[in-house]
Chains A and B, each alone.
Chain A
Amino acid sequence: NAGVTQTPKFQVLKTGQSMTLQCAQDMNHEYMSWYRQDPGMGLRLIHYSVGAGITDQGEVPNGYNVSRSTTEDFPLRLLSAAPSQTSVYFCASSWAGQGIYEQYFGPGTRLTVT
């Protein structure tokens, strides 16, 4: 199993540009989520999904869109990039079942917005 994969690993955007961060998992996990990690702060939940076709907002959803058309993929879209979105983005997946327990994280995407 490849686990959780993310692409790209690094990205530089100009203010106002849009892009999609890709996330895929091959463990048939129902639950997938996106986080951003900023210096000195804990990871913050952006959006999450409990299955194909079902998404919900986390703590910091503004400026980001998600969709879940398949169990495997959970892309994160930046509609109009802003310098405040400079961060490291992590995707994670987990079995849902009776509850969210162990989460598996991808290697991260480091995004810089100039």
Chain B
Amino acid sequence: KNQVEQSPQSLIILEGKNCTLQCNYTVSPFSNLRWYKQDTGRGPVSLTIMTFSENTKSNGRYTATLDADTKQSSLHITASQLSDSASYICVVSSGQKGFKTIFGAGTRLFVKA
């Protein structure tokens, strides 16, 4: 069964600290993997997109990695800010042109002052 599992479920860190969120997937065939940020009450917003051949992608203070052999991805947030408090969702696309999308349940990040 195609699944995307994220850990931890929630995380509390102090402002300025770094953190890493994990994503494991069992999706096949693989098309691409994306990380989204979702603020409370809003739709998800794309952070990074990686295809099979890419193993790292950065977007400002966000850096995503992908190991297609072990089917694992991580999202590293550097020098966290209060505005980073949100849910971070890992999404894997599958099937013809990636039309089938499987979402992880997300990691809820709280950044405290």
* Interface residues, chain A, with chain B CB atoms under 8 Å away: 4, 31, 33, 35, 40-45, 48, 50, 56, 58-59, 90, 92, 96, 98-108
**A42–B103 touching, CB < 8 Å:** yes
Q: Indicate the size class of the contact surface on chain B.
A: 20 to 34
Chain B binding site: helix, strand, loop or mixed by DSSP? strand
Interface stretch, picked from B14-22, B43-51, B63-71, B72-80, is B43-51
* Interface residues, chain B, with chain A CB atoms under 8 Å away: 4, 31-32, 34, 41-46, 49, 89, 93, 97-106
List of B residues within 8 angstroms of A99 by Cβ: 31-32, 93, 97-98
Q: Are A100 and B99 CB-contacts (below 8 A) given A43-B89, A108-B43?
A: yes
**A50–B99 touching, CB < 8 Å:** yes
Q: Are A90 and B31 CB-contacts (below 8 A) given A42-B89, A58-B100?
A: no
Residue of A nearest to B44 (CB): A105
List of B residues within 8 angstroms of A44 by Cβ: 103
List of B residues within 8 angstroms of A104 by Cβ: 46
**B31–A100 touching, CB < 8 Å:** yes
Q: Are A100 and B93 CB-contacts (below 8 A) given A42-B105, A48-B99, A58-B100?
A: yes
